[in-house]
Amino acid sequence: MKKRLGNLEIGDQSETAAFVDAPQLFVLARSELADSAKDLYSYFGAAEQSLRPSPHSAESVVEAAGRTCYLSFANSSGRSTTDYIENLVRQGHESVLEHVSWTFVLTGVSRAFTHQMVRHRVGFAYSQLSQQYVDHRSIRFVIPSELLMNPDLLPSWKGAVLAQRQTYVDLVESLNSAQSNLGSRERVRSMRSAARSVLPNCVEAVIAVTGNARSWRHFLEVRGSTEGDIEMRRVCALLLSTLKQEAPSIFFDFAQQSFGDGWPIVKKIAS
């Protein structure tokens, strides 16, 4: 059921639509080898068959970029793309991995989570749902994983966050009726800025994040095994599962395991 307040539309505010209990990941973009890459190989005298497009497009880009260092496009050793990339990782030559990147959109994550994520600056770019430009009167709340393990605590938690959302709604409606010298655009920004001050850290965020392969590896290594941050671990497990499908050779030395609390944990394993 939707209603309008002035020129603003409010979505479903029912309790059943108010909560989300799991993150979701959408692949928005990835690095791919261009058709003209064969011209580069030909320029340096390598046979066309030396360029072996991998079913994992990012891996082909990494190999081609790495072979530029020694002009080894002919691949006289016959090494596979998988062997080539895994050797780069084992040797610590991860700068070559910076040539490929992925853009993901995450939903079902909390504002508390994104506060942690955006602290990773090198090799990343972010675009996040704005609390000033998006009406939060029908926003969802991310249920902490710890409460999913202790469902008897959920009723009081749900009551608390729904009360905070109602306060947000009341503030927006009151401020919308108050006198203001601001134009319509800045008036909306002003009232939402004031009202959002009562929203909790568990409010759902939507964030687009681009990161190169080296940065994603670092993120998984330092965040994926943070035992006391279950939401972070769950997102890292989702990221790793996706990245292993996209480029298994780049992330071969990471594994998802089950931790004692039943939630996943991401570990870097010996290579």
pTM over 0.75: yes
Residue of 140, 214, 223, 233 with catalytic role: 223
Q: What is the mean pLDDT of the chain?
A: 91
If pLDDT is split at 50, 70 and 90, which confidence band does 45 have? confident
pLDDT at 78: 87
Top pLDDT among 54 and 133 is at 133
pLDDT above 90 coverage of the chain, percent: 79
- Residue 111 annotated in active site: no
Residues 141-172 have pLDDT tens digits of 999 999 999 999 999 999 999 999 999 999 99
What is the arithmetic mean of pLDDT over 179-196? 92
- Full set of structural domains in the chain with CATH: 1-26+101-271 (3.30.70.3180), 32-98 (no CATH)
What span, in angstroms and rounded, lies between the C-alpha atoms of 144 and 113? 11
pLDDT at 49: 58
Which 8-state DSSP code applies to residue 203? Answer: B
Six-digit token string for 184 = 């319509």
Crossing angle of helices 213-223/230-246, nearest 10°? Answer: 150
3-state secondary structure of 26: strand
Residues 87-131 have pLDDT tens digits of 999 999 999 999 999 999 999 999 999 999 999 999 999 999 999
Q: Which of 227, 225, 224 is nearest to 235 (CA)?
A: 224
pLDDT at 159: 97
pLDDT at 218: 98
